[in-house]
Structure 1
């Protein structure tokens, strides 16, 4: 970049949780990674606090979460949740997996991912604002302004993880589909003059919603939802007088409050980028998708973007990816974002205060606790119903599904799938009578794989499995021949090279949060 520093291979614009988890992944794979972040420090303002099941499961497979054991004498976890403000939804996960709902302040996650990224060798430059992005056929030039003046560098790829008003998306010329705001919402931490004026919980009123949470120390966290229309000047700062008036209007009585620690404004404006990639420029997180923040799905979705992109981009930079591997990032993640935008809009429709929606709400409330319907909604909200598109011409029934954790017997003793994936490379699990044949077929790609021979066990769905670093099944016996699948991910046969190191650098989340 300057002086004797080597140029970065990947520049990530945006140092929020998505940019930092991606930086930790790339640096862990040995990729020279630089993060440019406009903020001078991690924001302490309360934001998202919920991580859903599929995100928790993928983070654990990548070594970002400590190992957890399921509830004793149980076959699955069951965590209560909500849908459109209605209680009764239950998020479940196998007992071999982590608990399906992880409550963790976004601030703590950012610090954890930053620590791991730094420990793995990434550079994080705060107080740097990107001013220009100039892509060419073989590289991308990035210019930024920082405390020491102008900075410029040339990278193989640039990733925009810089939020809803993404500079990277704008410079890349990537368009989007958007849905205008229809409601106005406020949030803040305050002290109530009468501590009993608002009880904790979700409260629907004839004018909208007030959501109340005890933030500790006599502070109450409030969120409001005014369905009468969007705020005419949504970028104006929120005053305590406006916040008090809004809460009082919604509950139809005066609610006195003081000492605001923070106040903010948001809406149901939604956006989905028309593409997640423009040549050597990619988008992730809020730069690619924005939706109404209901159900804690935004943070989880962005982190899944980072975990999906990380290993693919590392392979592309190292020259070990097939020509089309990076394109699968958009093919897999953009439909997932579209589903979340749609389900967030559907939840908001159910939350509108008109009495004409009461029969529909009553029907949904009753169905949330019923098996098939409630299970389907829970799987959608937690992203556990995600099935990736098949990449081989004749896929098996398992290709694109998520491999639940299972205990397996190896030559080195008993372990599980989560532990085997910590290596960071795609995992080839071999059992059954044809395991040596599969091993020979995988020989030309052995430097890219973690090949493990396991004893035949009913815990695995079939005799041979190729598992991606994020836990999804890339191939299994019963479909196309193994070399066909390996070529889809890594290209045709090539001379074996020593794999780049990948370790679980830094402390795990249990240490970071202690």
Structure 2
């Protein structure tokens, strides 16, 4: 029997399967689709999740399949450009990787680790009691069977069946505009389209009185064209056609459609801003789009996949004997992150919607403001997710690293030579990095060595004398003073809170 059943084999569900398997948990993934799709719903990852992949030893492997991996010199906030290259340190990391390729890489990694993935299996019913969850599943041959588990996690998207079956409300709003996106075999790439009747289109979003048209490219030979306009009457069911796409572009431009190449993929969507009222309903959890939908792009996978990393180690810890109450911290930590991301993406959407001279004035003034280092650095942290700071009960609260994602500083361990903190996080275990040169903290952590890796190390410029890093990379204990009884007591309290007595 699986200990955890994950519903949905998108990037979030597959990342969770990897995390659970690293912790030795029997994980089963159920996916309604028969196979991985070809639709590039997302063009890559941006934010903290890129550093998390480095923690798991996956960044180099994934970057080999990517068009670009690393910090970016600029990024849009709504339609206002952020000139990140002016900052003295790295502010925002991206990994350009179309979603189908990302899913295939995560699928391969999950299978390597021993996760079972069943495609073509649709969850149609769910019940739970004090000991477990039972899912009713429709198999590819049309038969129904039940799947028992200790816990279930819905990673099944914005129209989540798991969320509905668990009775979790999903309040929010739906946009008044429709977005149509097309990927085309291109010969224009980052150049200009010369559109009869509308003039040339510059790379990026082009505004008209009737909407906006996007022209860009993220890989050679593929043009991305998008169009936003007020949602009209509902169109007939079925896939968006090339002629419907061209007609939408013509309406917004008030002229001819640009010379598009052969369509690779076309889609139509209406943005939503929604947040699940709770991320936990008994033994059922929500992650990714099942828990939140954001009205501006660029945040969904970063937040969703870091949801999975936060939840995975906690499920594993409880299954191995940690207090059940640990699972409540998934909602208390991640729901505010969803709220915060909803706030900033609503702000971006508002900037996009602001039209006419008033909208232009707002964007121009904000562009001036964002040129200053302090607001630029703040917004870069918001987009990266590096502004996330969890409450850490049981620890001295005034250390600047406490609750934050651990910085990857260089260190040397006995017998191992030079390394970095990221290299210590590969097994997805908690790590106590002891830089004191004394035995006091290591002795205090001794009773937890079955759950926490204790590493004595040296570092030229350490940010603290000791750090307890949770498997998700967040600092649960940080100490820079003497190794006295207060320090040992604080460490023991943090260890007991997060990893059990």
Whether the TM-score (by the shorter chain) exceeds 0.5 is yes
SS of 1:79's equivalent in the other structure is: coil
- Write the distance in 2 (CA, Å) between the matches of 1:448 and 1:60: 22
In the alignment, is the contact (CA less than 8 A) between 2:296 and 2:346 conserved in 1? Answer: no
The answer to whether 1:158 aligns with 2:152 is yes
Matched residues in 1 for 2:471 and 2:85: separation? 24
Aligned residues: 474
Distance 1:110 1:164 in 2: 18
User: Secondary structure, in 3 states, of the residue corresponding to 1:316?
Assistant: helix
Q: Give, in whole Å, the separation in 2 of the partners of 1:154 and 1:101.
A: 38
Match of 2:300 in 1: 298
Q: In structure 2, what is the equivalent of residue 504 of structure 1?
A: none
Residues 49, 91 of structure 1: alpha-carbon distance in 2 compared, 3 angstrom cutoff: farther
Q: Is 1:188 the equivalent of 2:197?
A: no
Q: What secondary structure is seen at the aligned counterpart in 2 of 1:130?
A: strand
Cα deviation, residue 183, structure 1: 1.6
SS at match of 1:51: strand
Pairing 1:420–2:420 present: no
Map of 1:248-263 to 2, 5 A cutoff? 248-255=250-257, 257=260, 259-263=262-266
SS of 2:439's partner is helix
Instruction: Tell me the alpha carbon deviations over residues 11-44 of structure 1, each in whole angstroms, 9 at most, x when there is no partner.
Output: 0000001000111111122111110001111111
Q: Which has the higher contact order (CA 8 A, sep 6+)?
A: 1
Q: By how many angstroms is 1:395 displaced? A: 2.4
Structure 1 pair 109–79 and aligned structure 2 pair: CA distance change class (3 A): same
Looking at structure 2, the residues matched to 129 and 157 of structure 1 have their Cα atoms a distance apart, in angstroms, of 17
Aligned-pair CA distance for 1:50: 3.0
The CA distance in 1 between the partners of 2:220 and 2:341, in whole Å, is 34
Q: CA deviation at 1:111?
A: 0.7
- Aligned to 2:130, the other structure's residue is in SS state coil
Q: Give the one of 399, 404, 420 matched to 2:402.
A: 399
CA distance in 1, matches of 2:186, 2:436: 65
Contact conserved, 1:234 with 1:265, CA < 8 A, in 2? no
Distance change >3 Å, CA 91–CA 467, structure 1 → 2: farther
Deviation track 1:233-272 (CA, whole Å, cap 9, x = no partner) reads: 6966423332112111212211165743332111222110
CA offsets 1:439-484 (integer angstroms, 9 cap, x no match): 12111111001100012x3532221110112221011226761111
Aligned ranges 1:192-271 → 2 under 5 Å = 196-197=194-195, 198-214=201-217, 220-226=223-229, 228-229=230-231, 232=234, 237-255=239-257, 257=260, 259-271=262-274
Q: 1:91 to 1:447 in 2, by over 3 A?
A: farther
| Deviation by residue 1:421-453 (Cα, 9 ceiling, x = unmatched) | 1132101011225x4111121111110011000
Asked if structure 1 preserves the Cα contact closer than 8 Å seen for 2:429 and 2:452, the reply is: yes
TM-score by length of 2: 0.88
CA shift in 2, pair 1:380/1:283, >3 Å: same
**CA drift at 1:101:** 1.7
Q: Is the contact made by 1:9 and 1:33 (CA closer than 8 Å) also made in structure 2? A: yes
Structure 1 portions without partners, runs of 5+: 1-6, 70-75, 493-514
- Cα deviation, 1:316-356, whole Å, max 9, x if unaligned, reads 2222x233221111111111111212211111211122322
Tell me the TM-score normalised to structure 1 length. Answer: 0.86
Residues 11 and 155, structure 1, Cα contact 8 Å, conserved in 2: yes
Give distance in 1, aligned partners of 2:128 and 2:309. 24
Distance verdict in 2 for CA 1:366–1:94, change over 3 Å: closer
> Contact 1:163–1:286 at 8 Å: present in 2 too?
yes
2-structure distance, mates of 1:192, 1:105: 17
Specify the alignment match of 1:102 in structure 2. 95
* Greater displacement, 460-469 / 388-397: 388-397
RMSD: 2.7
Map 1:87-486; keep pairs closer than 5 Å. 87-90=81-84, 100-148=93-141, 149-190=143-184, 196-197=194-195, 198-214=201-217, 220-226=223-229, 228-229=230-231, 232=234, 237-255=239-257, 257=260, 259-294=262-297, 296-319=298-321, 321-352=322-353, 353-392=355-394, 394-397=396-399, 398-412=401-415, 413-432=417-436, 435-455=438-458, 457-477=459-479, 481-486=490-495
